[in-house]
Amino acid sequence: MHSQLFSLCTTTLASPLRYTLSYLCLVFLLTACHSDSSTHDPKTQLKVVTRNGLTTYYQDKDGPTGFEYELVKRYADSQNLELEFVSVHSLDDIFSALRENRADLAAAGLTITPERQQQWLFSPSYLDVQQWLIYNRKTHLKPKTIADLIGTRIVIMTSSSHGEILQQLQQQHPELSWHAAPDAETIDLLDMVANGESDYTIIDSNDFIANRGFYPTLRSAFELGQPGQLAWALPNNAHSNQRMASLEAFFKEIMEDGTLQQLQERFYSHAEEQKQVSTNTFAKAVESKLPQYRELIEKTAQQYGMDWRLLASISYQESHWNPRARSPTGVRGMMMLTQGTAREMNIINRVDVEQSLKGGAAYYKKIKRKLPRAIKEPDRSWFALAAYNLGLGHIKDVRKITQQQGGNHNQWADLKTRLPLLQKRNWYRNTKYGYARGQEALTYVQNIRHYYNYLQWSELSQNRTPPPKQMDQYLPESLLGSFDAL
Protein backbone atom coordinates (compact mmCIF):
# COMPACT_ATOMS: atom_id res chain seq x y z
CA MET A 1 0.00 0.00 0.00
CA HIS A 2 2.83 2.38 0.85
CA SER A 3 4.50 1.84 -2.52
CA GLN A 4 1.20 2.41 -4.32
CA LEU A 5 0.65 5.66 -2.42
CA PHE A 6 4.17 6.86 -3.22
CA SER A 7 3.66 6.01 -6.89
CA LEU A 8 0.41 7.95 -6.91
CA CYS A 9 2.03 11.00 -5.32
CA THR A 10 4.91 11.08 -7.81
CA THR A 11 3.07 10.44 -11.05
CA THR A 12 -0.21 12.36 -10.89
CA LEU A 13 0.98 15.82 -9.82
CA ALA A 14 2.44 18.56 -12.00
CA SER A 15 5.84 20.16 -11.34
CA PRO A 16 6.97 21.93 -9.21
CA LEU A 17 4.14 21.07 -6.83
CA ARG A 18 4.70 17.43 -7.72
CA TYR A 19 8.21 17.37 -6.29
CA THR A 20 7.24 19.19 -3.11
CA LEU A 21 4.39 16.81 -2.39
CA SER A 22 6.51 13.85 -3.44
CA TYR A 23 9.00 14.77 -0.78
CA LEU A 24 6.24 15.07 1.81
CA CYS A 25 4.85 11.70 0.73
CA LEU A 26 8.27 10.12 1.11
CA VAL A 27 8.68 11.57 4.61
CA PHE A 28 5.22 10.24 5.48
CA LEU A 29 6.06 6.79 4.15
CA LEU A 30 9.33 6.57 6.02
CA THR A 31 7.53 7.60 9.19
CA ALA A 32 4.77 5.07 8.51
CA CYS A 33 7.27 2.29 7.89
CA HIS A 34 9.03 3.12 11.13
CA SER A 35 5.69 3.16 12.86
CA ASP A 36 4.84 -0.26 11.43
CA SER A 37 8.06 -1.78 12.75
CA SER A 38 7.46 -0.26 16.16
CA THR A 39 4.15 -2.12 16.40
CA HIS A 40 6.06 -5.39 16.56
CA ASP A 41 5.28 -6.99 19.91
CA PRO A 42 7.97 -9.45 21.06
CA LYS A 43 5.50 -10.85 23.58
CA THR A 44 3.25 -12.24 20.83
CA GLN A 45 5.52 -12.24 17.77
CA LEU A 46 8.97 -13.65 17.05
CA LYS A 47 10.92 -11.99 14.26
CA VAL A 48 13.90 -14.08 13.20
CA VAL A 49 16.73 -13.09 10.89
CA THR A 50 18.55 -15.91 9.09
CA ARG A 51 20.51 -16.88 6.01
CA ASN A 52 19.10 -18.74 3.02
CA GLY A 53 20.79 -22.12 2.87
CA LEU A 54 20.70 -25.85 3.38
CA THR A 55 21.48 -25.80 7.09
CA THR A 56 19.49 -22.67 7.94
CA TYR A 57 16.29 -21.82 6.03
CA TYR A 58 14.98 -22.52 2.54
CA GLN A 59 11.81 -23.45 0.64
CA ASP A 60 11.22 -26.95 -0.68
CA LYS A 61 8.17 -28.49 -2.35
CA ASP A 62 6.38 -28.81 1.01
CA GLY A 63 7.14 -25.31 2.29
CA PRO A 64 9.86 -23.73 4.44
CA THR A 65 12.44 -26.02 6.00
CA GLY A 66 16.06 -26.13 7.13
CA PHE A 67 17.65 -27.05 10.44
CA GLU A 68 17.42 -23.56 11.93
CA TYR A 69 13.85 -23.08 10.68
CA GLU A 70 12.62 -26.33 12.19
CA LEU A 71 14.33 -25.52 15.49
CA VAL A 72 12.94 -21.99 15.71
CA LYS A 73 9.46 -23.10 14.70
CA ARG A 74 9.36 -25.53 17.59
CA TYR A 75 10.40 -22.79 19.99
CA ALA A 76 7.81 -20.35 18.62
CA ASP A 77 5.09 -22.99 18.88
CA SER A 78 6.08 -23.78 22.45
CA GLN A 79 5.64 -20.09 23.35
CA ASN A 80 2.52 -19.49 21.20
CA LEU A 81 4.40 -16.85 19.23
CA GLU A 82 3.57 -15.75 15.69
CA LEU A 83 6.70 -16.54 13.67
CA GLU A 84 8.21 -14.35 10.97
CA PHE A 85 11.41 -15.28 9.15
CA VAL A 86 13.53 -12.67 7.35
CA SER A 87 16.31 -14.02 5.14
CA VAL A 88 19.33 -11.78 4.45
CA HIS A 89 22.47 -12.32 2.41
CA SER A 90 25.41 -11.87 4.77
CA LEU A 91 26.55 -12.05 8.36
CA ASP A 92 26.95 -8.27 8.35
CA ASP A 93 23.24 -7.94 7.49
CA ILE A 94 22.36 -10.32 10.33
CA PHE A 95 24.33 -8.38 12.91
CA SER A 96 22.95 -5.07 11.61
CA ALA A 97 19.41 -6.37 12.11
CA LEU A 98 20.24 -7.27 15.70
CA ARG A 99 22.04 -4.01 16.35
CA GLU A 100 19.09 -1.97 15.07
CA ASN A 101 16.54 -4.15 16.93
CA ARG A 102 14.89 -5.24 13.68
CA ALA A 103 14.92 -8.86 14.81
CA ASP A 104 14.28 -10.67 18.08
CA LEU A 105 16.95 -13.24 17.38
CA ALA A 106 19.32 -14.51 14.71
CA ALA A 107 19.18 -18.22 13.83
CA ALA A 108 21.88 -18.55 11.21
CA GLY A 109 24.47 -21.10 12.28
CA LEU A 110 26.36 -18.59 14.44
CA THR A 111 29.32 -19.70 16.51
CA ILE A 112 29.71 -18.28 20.02
CA THR A 113 32.99 -16.34 20.25
CA PRO A 114 34.41 -14.04 22.96
CA GLU A 115 34.24 -11.09 20.58
CA ARG A 116 30.59 -11.72 19.77
CA GLN A 117 29.68 -12.23 23.40
CA GLN A 118 30.75 -8.65 24.06
CA GLN A 119 27.95 -7.44 21.77
CA TRP A 120 25.16 -10.03 21.86
CA LEU A 121 23.35 -12.40 24.13
CA PHE A 122 23.39 -16.07 23.16
CA SER A 123 20.90 -18.86 23.67
CA PRO A 124 22.07 -22.23 24.98
CA SER A 125 24.17 -24.02 22.38
CA TYR A 126 22.42 -26.64 20.24
CA LEU A 127 25.25 -28.02 18.09
CA ASP A 128 29.00 -28.54 18.50
CA VAL A 129 31.03 -27.87 15.35
CA GLN A 130 34.59 -27.91 14.19
CA GLN A 131 36.20 -25.52 11.76
CA TRP A 132 37.58 -27.44 8.80
CA LEU A 133 40.10 -26.36 6.21
CA ILE A 134 38.70 -27.43 2.83
CA TYR A 135 40.79 -28.22 -0.25
CA ASN A 136 40.31 -29.71 -3.71
CA ARG A 137 41.99 -33.10 -3.85
CA LYS A 138 41.91 -32.97 -7.65
CA THR A 139 44.13 -29.90 -7.85
CA HIS A 140 45.97 -29.77 -4.51
CA LEU A 141 47.87 -32.09 -2.24
CA LYS A 142 46.45 -32.34 1.24
CA PRO A 143 48.02 -29.61 3.41
CA LYS A 144 49.28 -30.84 6.76
CA THR A 145 50.24 -27.73 8.73
CA ILE A 146 49.51 -24.01 8.89
CA ALA A 147 52.90 -23.41 7.28
CA ASP A 148 51.59 -25.11 4.12
CA LEU A 149 48.98 -22.36 3.80
CA ILE A 150 51.41 -19.45 3.62
CA GLY A 151 51.38 -17.86 0.18
CA THR A 152 48.12 -19.56 -0.86
CA ARG A 153 44.70 -18.12 -1.64
CA ILE A 154 42.42 -18.56 1.37
CA VAL A 155 38.91 -17.11 1.11
CA ILE A 156 36.48 -16.98 4.02
CA MET A 157 33.13 -15.39 4.87
CA THR A 158 33.19 -11.77 6.03
CA SER A 159 32.48 -11.27 9.76
CA SER A 160 32.73 -15.01 10.37
CA SER A 161 34.28 -16.69 13.41
CA HIS A 162 36.83 -18.13 11.00
CA GLY A 163 38.41 -14.71 10.64
CA GLU A 164 38.97 -14.60 14.39
CA ILE A 165 40.69 -18.00 14.22
CA LEU A 166 42.99 -16.87 11.41
CA GLN A 167 43.89 -13.69 13.30
CA GLN A 168 44.98 -15.80 16.24
CA LEU A 169 47.04 -18.08 13.99
CA GLN A 170 48.60 -15.05 12.31
CA GLN A 171 50.28 -14.12 15.59
CA GLN A 172 52.41 -17.25 15.27
CA HIS A 173 52.57 -17.12 11.46
CA PRO A 174 52.83 -13.43 10.45
CA GLU A 175 53.02 -14.28 6.74
CA LEU A 176 49.63 -15.99 6.80
CA SER A 177 47.07 -14.04 4.76
CA TRP A 178 43.50 -14.48 3.57
CA HIS A 179 40.62 -12.70 1.88
CA ALA A 180 37.20 -12.13 3.49
CA ALA A 181 34.64 -12.14 0.68
CA PRO A 182 31.70 -9.75 1.16
CA ASP A 183 28.27 -11.44 1.11
CA ALA A 184 29.85 -14.85 0.47
CA GLU A 185 27.92 -17.86 1.70
CA THR A 186 29.02 -21.43 2.35
CA ILE A 187 28.16 -22.58 -1.17
CA ASP A 188 29.99 -19.62 -2.72
CA LEU A 189 33.15 -20.56 -0.82
CA LEU A 190 32.88 -24.22 -1.79
CA ASP A 191 32.29 -23.23 -5.41
CA MET A 192 35.45 -21.14 -5.41
CA VAL A 193 37.59 -24.02 -4.16
CA ALA A 194 35.93 -26.46 -6.56
CA ASN A 195 36.44 -24.11 -9.52
CA GLY A 196 40.02 -23.19 -8.67
CA GLU A 197 39.23 -19.57 -7.81
CA SER A 198 40.70 -20.13 -4.36
CA ASP A 199 43.01 -22.73 -2.88
CA TYR A 200 41.35 -23.18 0.49
CA THR A 201 38.43 -22.09 2.59
CA ILE A 202 37.26 -22.67 6.15
CA ILE A 203 33.81 -24.19 6.70
CA ASP A 204 31.98 -25.28 9.82
CA SER A 205 31.84 -29.07 9.94
CA ASN A 206 28.02 -29.19 9.88
CA ASP A 207 27.88 -27.01 6.76
CA PHE A 208 30.43 -29.14 4.92
CA ILE A 209 28.74 -32.40 5.90
CA ALA A 210 25.43 -31.11 4.56
CA ASN A 211 26.90 -29.89 1.26
CA ARG A 212 29.80 -32.22 0.46
CA GLY A 213 27.62 -34.50 -1.67
CA PHE A 214 27.51 -31.71 -4.24
CA TYR A 215 31.31 -31.38 -4.28
CA PRO A 216 32.88 -34.81 -4.80
CA THR A 217 36.44 -33.49 -5.16
CA LEU A 218 36.47 -31.41 -1.97
CA ARG A 219 37.92 -32.77 1.26
CA SER A 220 38.63 -31.64 4.80
CA ALA A 221 42.37 -31.32 5.49
CA PHE A 222 42.45 -30.60 9.24
CA GLU A 223 40.76 -28.65 12.01
CA LEU A 224 41.55 -25.04 12.78
CA GLY A 225 41.19 -23.55 16.24
CA GLN A 226 39.13 -25.06 18.99
CA PRO A 227 35.72 -26.73 18.49
CA GLY A 228 32.88 -24.21 18.52
CA GLN A 229 29.26 -24.10 19.60
CA LEU A 230 26.34 -22.88 17.53
CA ALA A 231 23.64 -20.79 19.20
CA TRP A 232 21.05 -18.14 18.49
CA ALA A 233 22.17 -14.53 18.94
CA LEU A 234 19.89 -11.94 20.53
CA PRO A 235 20.09 -8.15 20.89
CA ASN A 236 21.42 -7.11 24.26
CA ASN A 237 18.21 -5.53 25.53
CA ALA A 238 15.48 -5.99 28.14
CA HIS A 239 13.25 -8.15 25.90
CA SER A 240 16.12 -10.55 25.22
CA ASN A 241 16.93 -10.85 28.91
CA GLN A 242 13.31 -11.72 29.60
CA ARG A 243 13.36 -14.30 26.80
CA MET A 244 16.43 -16.16 28.07
CA ALA A 245 14.52 -18.14 30.67
CA SER A 246 12.15 -19.60 28.07
CA LEU A 247 15.07 -20.36 25.73
CA GLU A 248 16.92 -22.23 28.44
CA ALA A 249 13.81 -24.25 29.30
CA PHE A 250 13.13 -25.00 25.61
CA PHE A 251 16.62 -26.28 24.83
CA LYS A 252 16.71 -28.31 28.03
CA GLU A 253 13.45 -29.99 27.02
CA ILE A 254 14.38 -30.82 23.41
CA MET A 255 17.75 -32.18 24.51
CA GLU A 256 16.10 -34.46 27.06
CA ASP A 257 13.19 -35.69 24.90
CA GLY A 258 15.36 -36.41 21.82
CA THR A 259 13.87 -33.73 19.56
CA LEU A 260 17.20 -32.02 19.00
CA GLN A 261 18.92 -35.31 18.18
CA GLN A 262 16.19 -36.16 15.66
CA LEU A 263 16.61 -32.83 13.90
CA GLN A 264 20.37 -33.25 13.75
CA GLU A 265 19.99 -36.68 12.19
CA ARG A 266 17.38 -35.43 9.74
CA PHE A 267 19.51 -32.64 8.35
CA TYR A 268 23.04 -33.95 8.80
CA SER A 269 22.95 -37.74 8.82
CA HIS A 270 20.59 -38.74 6.03
CA ALA A 271 19.90 -37.86 2.41
CA GLU A 272 22.20 -34.84 2.23
CA GLU A 273 24.47 -36.74 -0.16
CA GLN A 274 22.62 -37.92 -3.26
CA LYS A 275 24.41 -41.16 -4.18
CA GLN A 276 23.60 -42.90 -7.43
CA VAL A 277 22.84 -46.58 -6.98
CA SER A 278 24.86 -48.70 -9.35
CA THR A 279 23.30 -50.39 -12.35
CA ASN A 280 24.30 -53.73 -10.90
CA THR A 281 22.34 -53.07 -7.68
CA PHE A 282 19.31 -51.94 -9.65
CA ALA A 283 19.51 -54.98 -11.91
CA LYS A 284 19.47 -57.26 -8.86
CA ALA A 285 16.43 -55.43 -7.51
CA VAL A 286 14.66 -55.87 -10.85
CA GLU A 287 15.18 -59.61 -10.53
CA SER A 288 14.41 -60.01 -6.82
CA LYS A 289 11.92 -57.28 -5.86
CA LEU A 290 10.13 -55.99 -8.93
CA PRO A 291 8.25 -59.22 -9.82
CA GLN A 292 6.11 -59.05 -6.67
CA TYR A 293 5.01 -55.48 -7.44
CA ARG A 294 5.12 -55.34 -11.23
CA GLU A 295 1.48 -56.31 -11.84
CA LEU A 296 0.24 -53.64 -9.43
CA ILE A 297 2.60 -51.04 -10.88
CA GLU A 298 1.39 -51.81 -14.39
CA LYS A 299 -2.26 -51.65 -13.30
CA THR A 300 -1.76 -48.29 -11.53
CA ALA A 301 0.23 -46.84 -14.43
CA GLN A 302 -2.51 -47.79 -16.87
CA GLN A 303 -5.12 -46.20 -14.62
CA TYR A 304 -3.24 -42.89 -14.63
CA GLY A 305 -2.06 -42.98 -18.21
CA MET A 306 1.61 -43.53 -17.37
CA ASP A 307 4.34 -45.75 -18.70
CA TRP A 308 4.65 -48.47 -16.07
CA ARG A 309 8.42 -48.43 -16.38
CA LEU A 310 8.46 -44.76 -15.41
CA LEU A 311 6.27 -45.39 -12.36
CA ALA A 312 8.49 -48.33 -11.43
CA SER A 313 11.58 -46.14 -11.74
CA ILE A 314 10.11 -43.38 -9.59
CA SER A 315 9.07 -45.81 -6.88
CA TYR A 316 12.52 -47.42 -6.88
CA GLN A 317 14.23 -44.04 -6.58
CA GLU A 318 11.89 -43.10 -3.75
CA SER A 319 11.95 -46.27 -1.65
CA HIS A 320 13.92 -49.03 -3.44
CA TRP A 321 10.54 -50.79 -3.69
CA ASN A 322 10.15 -50.94 0.07
CA PRO A 323 6.47 -50.40 0.97
CA ARG A 324 7.32 -49.62 4.59
CA ALA A 325 10.14 -47.19 3.87
CA ARG A 326 10.30 -44.15 6.10
CA SER A 327 12.59 -41.14 6.01
CA PRO A 328 13.70 -38.88 8.89
CA THR A 329 11.42 -36.17 7.46
CA GLY A 330 8.33 -38.34 7.93
CA VAL A 331 7.60 -39.29 4.32
CA ARG A 332 6.51 -42.91 4.01
CA GLY A 333 5.68 -45.79 1.73
CA MET A 334 6.54 -47.03 -1.74
CA MET A 335 6.27 -43.49 -3.17
CA MET A 336 7.46 -41.74 0.01
CA LEU A 337 4.45 -39.46 0.33
CA THR A 338 4.27 -36.64 2.84
CA GLN A 339 1.21 -36.42 5.03
CA GLY A 340 0.12 -33.31 3.15
CA THR A 341 0.42 -34.95 -0.26
CA ALA A 342 -1.40 -38.04 0.97
CA ARG A 343 -4.32 -35.92 2.21
CA GLU A 344 -4.35 -33.95 -1.04
CA MET A 345 -4.54 -37.20 -3.05
CA ASN A 346 -7.11 -38.76 -0.68
CA ILE A 347 -4.71 -41.48 0.48
CA ILE A 348 -5.53 -42.95 3.89
CA ASN A 349 -2.72 -45.48 4.37
CA ARG A 350 0.67 -44.44 3.01
CA VAL A 351 2.29 -47.83 3.65
CA ASP A 352 -0.33 -49.67 1.60
CA VAL A 353 1.40 -50.41 -1.70
CA GLU A 354 -1.61 -49.80 -3.94
CA GLN A 355 -2.62 -46.58 -2.19
CA SER A 356 0.95 -45.27 -2.21
CA LEU A 357 1.39 -45.97 -5.92
CA LYS A 358 -1.94 -44.32 -6.70
CA GLY A 359 -1.09 -41.29 -4.56
CA GLY A 360 2.30 -40.83 -6.17
CA ALA A 361 0.99 -41.36 -9.70
CA ALA A 362 -1.89 -38.93 -9.14
CA TYR A 363 0.42 -36.30 -7.69
CA TYR A 364 2.90 -36.69 -10.54
CA LYS A 365 0.12 -36.32 -13.11
CA LYS A 366 -1.25 -33.26 -11.30
CA ILE A 367 2.14 -31.58 -11.42
CA LYS A 368 2.54 -32.50 -15.06
CA ARG A 369 -0.82 -30.92 -15.96
CA LYS A 370 0.24 -27.66 -14.32
CA LEU A 371 3.33 -27.28 -16.50
CA PRO A 372 3.07 -24.82 -19.43
CA ARG A 373 1.80 -26.35 -22.65
CA ALA A 374 4.94 -25.20 -24.44
CA ILE A 375 6.93 -27.91 -22.66
CA LYS A 376 6.63 -31.00 -24.84
CA GLU A 377 7.43 -34.66 -24.27
CA PRO A 378 9.72 -36.23 -23.34
CA ASP A 379 11.01 -33.07 -21.65
CA ARG A 380 7.64 -32.58 -20.00
CA SER A 381 8.13 -35.80 -18.03
CA TRP A 382 11.58 -34.73 -16.83
CA PHE A 383 10.27 -31.30 -15.81
CA ALA A 384 7.50 -33.01 -13.85
CA LEU A 385 9.99 -35.29 -12.10
CA ALA A 386 12.12 -32.32 -11.06
CA ALA A 387 9.00 -30.57 -9.75
CA TYR A 388 7.92 -33.77 -7.96
CA ASN A 389 11.21 -33.64 -6.09
CA LEU A 390 11.71 -29.88 -5.74
CA GLY A 391 8.30 -28.23 -6.02
CA LEU A 392 6.74 -26.32 -8.91
CA GLY A 393 7.78 -22.95 -7.53
CA HIS A 394 11.49 -23.70 -7.86
CA ILE A 395 10.98 -25.00 -11.40
CA LYS A 396 9.41 -21.66 -12.28
CA ASP A 397 12.48 -19.96 -10.83
CA VAL A 398 14.96 -22.07 -12.79
CA ARG A 399 12.96 -21.60 -16.02
CA LYS A 400 13.30 -17.86 -15.51
CA ILE A 401 17.05 -18.18 -14.91
CA THR A 402 17.38 -20.31 -18.06
CA GLN A 403 15.58 -17.65 -20.08
CA GLN A 404 17.77 -14.90 -18.61
CA GLN A 405 20.86 -16.80 -19.71
CA GLY A 406 19.58 -17.15 -23.26
CA GLY A 407 18.60 -20.80 -22.96
CA ASN A 408 15.36 -22.46 -23.95
CA HIS A 409 13.32 -22.62 -20.76
CA ASN A 410 11.05 -25.26 -22.30
CA GLN A 411 13.82 -27.78 -22.95
CA TRP A 412 15.29 -30.09 -20.35
CA ALA A 413 18.75 -29.98 -21.94
CA ASP A 414 18.93 -26.26 -21.18
CA LEU A 415 17.11 -26.36 -17.87
CA LYS A 416 19.13 -29.14 -16.24
CA THR A 417 22.39 -27.19 -16.47
CA ARG A 418 20.77 -24.36 -14.50
CA LEU A 419 19.21 -26.41 -11.70
CA PRO A 420 22.39 -26.25 -9.56
CA LEU A 421 22.21 -22.44 -9.73
CA LEU A 422 19.34 -22.60 -7.25
CA GLN A 423 22.03 -23.38 -4.66
CA LYS A 424 24.11 -20.34 -5.56
CA ARG A 425 23.35 -17.16 -3.66
CA ASN A 426 23.93 -14.83 -6.62
CA TRP A 427 21.06 -16.60 -8.39
CA TYR A 428 18.59 -17.70 -5.76
CA ARG A 429 18.62 -14.30 -4.02
CA ASN A 430 16.73 -12.88 -7.01
CA THR A 431 14.20 -15.67 -7.29
CA LYS A 432 10.73 -15.84 -5.80
CA TYR A 433 11.15 -19.11 -3.93
CA GLY A 434 14.81 -18.81 -2.90
CA TYR A 435 17.32 -21.53 -2.15
CA ALA A 436 16.68 -25.09 -3.33
CA ARG A 437 18.74 -28.27 -3.61
CA GLY A 438 18.88 -28.08 -7.38
CA GLN A 439 21.77 -30.50 -7.78
CA GLU A 440 19.88 -33.11 -5.78
CA ALA A 441 16.82 -32.66 -8.00
CA LEU A 442 19.03 -33.04 -11.07
CA THR A 443 20.51 -36.28 -9.69
CA TYR A 444 16.98 -37.46 -8.84
CA VAL A 445 15.84 -37.02 -12.44
CA GLN A 446 19.03 -38.52 -13.86
CA ASN A 447 18.67 -41.61 -11.67
CA ILE A 448 15.05 -42.16 -12.68
CA ARG A 449 15.88 -41.72 -16.36
CA HIS A 450 18.71 -44.24 -15.93
CA TYR A 451 16.39 -46.78 -14.31
CA TYR A 452 13.70 -46.12 -16.91
CA ASN A 453 16.16 -46.62 -19.75
CA TYR A 454 17.41 -49.82 -18.14
CA LEU A 455 13.87 -51.22 -17.93
CA GLN A 456 13.24 -50.24 -21.54
CA TRP A 457 16.48 -51.86 -22.66
CA SER A 458 15.84 -54.96 -20.57
CA GLU A 459 12.39 -55.46 -22.06
CA LEU A 460 13.61 -54.89 -25.60
CA SER A 461 16.52 -57.24 -25.04
CA GLN A 462 14.23 -60.03 -23.89
CA ASN A 463 11.83 -59.66 -26.81
CA ARG A 464 14.16 -58.89 -29.66
CA THR A 465 15.40 -61.36 -32.27
CA PRO A 466 19.19 -61.49 -32.15
CA PRO A 467 20.97 -60.67 -35.42
CA PRO A 468 22.65 -63.48 -37.35
CA LYS A 469 26.15 -64.18 -36.12
CA GLN A 470 28.99 -63.39 -38.51
CA MET A 471 31.53 -66.08 -39.09
CA ASP A 472 34.52 -63.79 -38.63
CA GLN A 473 33.64 -63.07 -35.00
CA TYR A 474 34.68 -66.65 -34.20
CA LEU A 475 38.01 -66.49 -36.05
CA PRO A 476 41.28 -65.53 -34.39
CA GLU A 477 42.74 -62.19 -35.49
CA SER A 478 45.68 -63.97 -37.15
CA LEU A 479 43.33 -65.47 -39.74
CA LEU A 480 41.22 -62.39 -40.45
CA GLY A 481 43.83 -60.81 -42.66
CA SER A 482 44.04 -63.93 -44.88
CA PHE A 483 40.31 -63.84 -45.62
CA ASP A 484 40.42 -60.11 -46.32
CA ALA A 485 43.02 -60.73 -49.01
CA LEU A 486 40.84 -63.22 -50.86
Q: How far apart are CA 409 and CA 404, in angstroms?
A: 9
Question: Strand 45-51 relative to strand 179-181: parallel, antiparallel, unpaired?
Answer: unpaired
Spatial contact of 51 and 159, defined as CB atoms under 8 Å apart: no
Q: What is the DSSP string of 181-210?
A: ETT--HHHHHHHHHHTS-SEEEEEHHHHHH
What's 213's DSSP letter?
G
Angle at alpha carbon of residue 437, lines to 435 and 442, rounded to 5°: 135
Q: How far apart are CA 273 and CA 267, in angstroms?
A: 11
Cα-flanking dihedrals φ and ψ of residue 107, to 5°? -115, 90
Q: Is 318 a catalytic residue?
A: yes
Q: Which among 318, 344, 440, 477 is annotated as catalytic?
A: 318
Which residues, at least 6 apart from 460, have a Cβ–Cβ distance to it below 8 Å? none
Q: How far apart are CA 176 and CA 146, in angstroms?
A: 8
Question: Alpha carbon of 136 to those of 86, 108, 197, 215, 324: distances in Å?
Answer: 34, 26, 11, 9, 39
For 398-416, b where at least 16 C-beta lie within 10 A, e where not — what string?
bbebbeeeebebbbbebbb
Q: What is the DSSP string of 145-175?
A: SGGGGTTS-EEEETT-HHHHHHHHHHHH-TT
Give the full edge-to-edge strand order of the sheet including 218-223.
179-181, 154-157, 200-204, 131-136, 218-223
Spatial contact of 361 and 311, defined as CB atoms under 8 Å apart: yes
3-state secondary structure of 288: helix
The residue among 423, 412, 421 whose CA lies nearest residue 448 is 412
The residue among 359, 438, 451 whose CA lies nearest residue 398 is 438
3-state secondary structure of 356: helix
**Bond into 378 cis (ω within 30):** yes
Question: Mind telling me the catalytic residues?
Answer: 318
